[in-house]
Amino acid sequence: MRIRTHIVSWLLLATIVPLTGVAFAAIYYIERDYEQRVREEINTSLNTIGTNLKRHMELQRELALGLANANVVQEFLPSMQAAEQGKFNSTYNIYHSRINHYFEGFQTIINGLYVMRLLDRQGNTYIKVSDTRRSAPIYESVNGLAYAEQELDDKPFAKLLKKLPNGEVSGLVLPHNQQQSEAMTTLSQYDYVAPLYLQQHFVGALTLTLFGEDIDRVMDQSPRLYEAQLFIMENNPDIHYRNGMVLYDDTHAIRMNQLRQEPQIAQTLYGQTVFNMLVGKPYGVFENKATSENVFFTEIFPYEGQLVSWVLGARVKSEYINQPFQSARWIVLGVASLALLLTLLLGSIGVQTLAKPVRELATQLLSYAHGAQAVRVKTDSGIDEIRDLEQAFNTMADSLDRTGAERDKAQHMMLQSAKLASIGQLAAGIGHEINNPLNNILSYAKLIERDVAQDAGHLQRDLTSLKDEAQRASSIIQGILNFARQVPPHYAPFAVLAWLQDTLNLVKQSAKTAGLTLAYECGEDFVIEGDRGQLQQVLVNLLLNAIQASKAHDQILVRALADDHEIHIAVIDQGQGIRAEIIDNVFDPFFTTKTEGEGSGLGLSIGLGIIERHAGALTIMNNLDKGVTATVILPRKIQHE
């Protein structure tokens, strides 16, 4: 980590971070307090709206009960009872007409759309007045009565009417509305039903159907705090098609007085998760992340004595609640950014006095690490600690240079001693003595060859074999002498691809004779610096070893790869490999696994010496499956001494 970074980090940790944290903590605390007050305001508003709704529903129940107790209705009860028994009197039609007139006048006085019915014991309609208009009794029943609507054949409904408590108004879903229109099947409100009794004898019922205009007016006039969107949903598990029915919703423009053939269900409009939250508790608030809204809700019971409830709710966008605090956060971030700029300015000043000499020191140290060992540190810094560090490094570098030179000299001497210990004395003592007889043998063989007749085939072959063996022995002795004397290589750049092809051509005939195929891989041509002949000698030796270790029909692959720093040339065969117990001895002079007369044991030793004089490395290892991989590793450019 840079000193500039340290300085900035210290200043951040000491000032900016604590102050910014305190500011955000204060904003968070105020925001939570503000959100709590917002929730209380919205919940209070919902409770007020719910109270207004319950009061209007109570007025509607009282209206239905008042109509049932009206004198004109009570006076008609004896005629209704007589009609049920098949007895008609002259007063039936008179009271029938009075009730129609009374209902029409009532609807004229009270604004709104109502449907008023007077039902007999079976639920059939004696009288029906809707929108100040009476319905004519045109549906004749089997007992001779004329009904205002088709005769109802609904025994469960008739039984339900008889069970309604006397003197109370109950909420029911009238089957009459469904007969009238499919759109009336899913009215927003229940129908109000007041049973009619004559001397404790059930004779019929009065019903009041409302379309929700009063509820719409209450909801439309209710305040929408924080741009809230109000809604009402019916929670009615006993009637599945009404369970979750949305009665009122600002967002989807749904009103109570709308006639709809199919109910609009909250599970579809809001999602199942939101619906479960709304019916899970009697009141509360939760966040709808899908719409970024806070949903406030409370439960009210619009129908007295029944488990049907309405969920009254308000959806408020989260941004309307959190918006006042967004500006505060931006201000805090702006102040923190300004403080950060000041910190960076102070950090730059600190860098001028402290970081610059440290960076110079690091650069010079890195140069020394990369091989520039003559580099010594000098920063001209006025800081005592840096001058002490500068002096300590220069002292260490001088000591390392001396130690390294002594070590390299000792290693070189040990290496030479190890190599020459085995063959140096032998080569120096008998090398020339063996070469002289060999040269004489070769010369005499050539002289004899001149005097031998051309048709003396057997003698010619013997002379040729004699020359070849003499030359081979001379080559071995020359290799020993070269190895002992360490003949320096002649470094020059050359192209690897052409060199590789030339080298393979030298051993092509040997591979063909052994029934082997040679292949090479060289992705791109590249240039290497070294002694072309000596390196070719190493590669030929490795190829000959691979040929002798392979079986017929095997393939020998030469793969050349290079990067920015090194070149890898690998010779891969498919032979039996080298036994683990002897693989560490393959570079020892005169060590060989070949049969007697097929190898001198000097090939790899001489090759290793050539590669090391090129500042490279030679590795021999067995493959995972079979065969051996011999790899020559050379630098792209030789560092000359």
User: Which residues, at least 6 apart from 494, have a Cβ–Cβ distance to it below 8 Å?
Assistant: 527, 528, 530, 532
Q: How confident is the model at residue 417, as a pLDDT?
A: 46
Q: What was the pLDDT predicted at 127? A: 93
Predicted structure pTM score: 0.51
Q: 533: which 2 tokens?
A: 């002949």
Exposed e or buried b per residue across 367-390, where buried means at least 16 C-beta atoms within 10 angstroms of its C-beta: ebeeeeeebebebebeeeebbebb
Does residue 117 surpass a pLDDT of 90?
yes
CA-based nearest residue to 245, from 231, 232, 234: 234
| Average pLDDT over the chain, rounded to an integer | 81
Mean pLDDT of 278-285: 93
Q: pLDDT tens for residues 136-146?
A: 888 887 777 78
b/e 542-580 (16+ beta carbons within 10 angstroms → b): bbbbbbbbbeeebebbbbbebeeeebbbbbbbbbebbee
Q: What is the average per-residue pLDDT within 430-440?
A: 72
Dist CA 285 CA 459 (whole Å): 117
Burial-class residue 20 by CB neighbours within 10 Å (0-12, 13-18, 19+): middle
Identify the burial level of 109 via C-beta atoms within 10 angstroms of its C-beta, where 0-12 means exposed, 13-18 middle and 19 or more buried.
exposed
pLDDT single digits (tens) 450-484: 777 666 777 777 777 787 777 767 766 665 665 55
Average pLDDT over residues 335-358: 68
Q: Which domains does the chain have, with CATH numbers?
A: 56-213 (3.30.450.20), 223-321 (3.30.450), 488-635 (3.30.565.10)
- The confidence score (pLDDT) of residue 24 equals 67
Q: What percent of the chain has pLDDT over 70?
A: 79
Greatest mean pLDDT among 318-332, 357-371, 491-505: 491-505
Residue with the larger pLDDT of the pair 340 and 514: 514
Most confident of 156-165, 176-185, 258-267, 572-581: 156-165
Note the pLDDT of residue 462: 77
Cα 115–Cα 117–Cα 122 angle in degrees, nearest 5:
140
CA distance 633 to 627: 19
What pLDDT digit, counting tens, does each position of 535-557 carry? 888 888 889 888 988 889 899 99
**What pLDDT is recorded for position 193?**
95
Tell me the β-bridge partners of 298. 283, 312
Contact 63, 358 (CB under 8 A): no
Helix axes 384-451, 356-369, angle to 10 degrees: 20
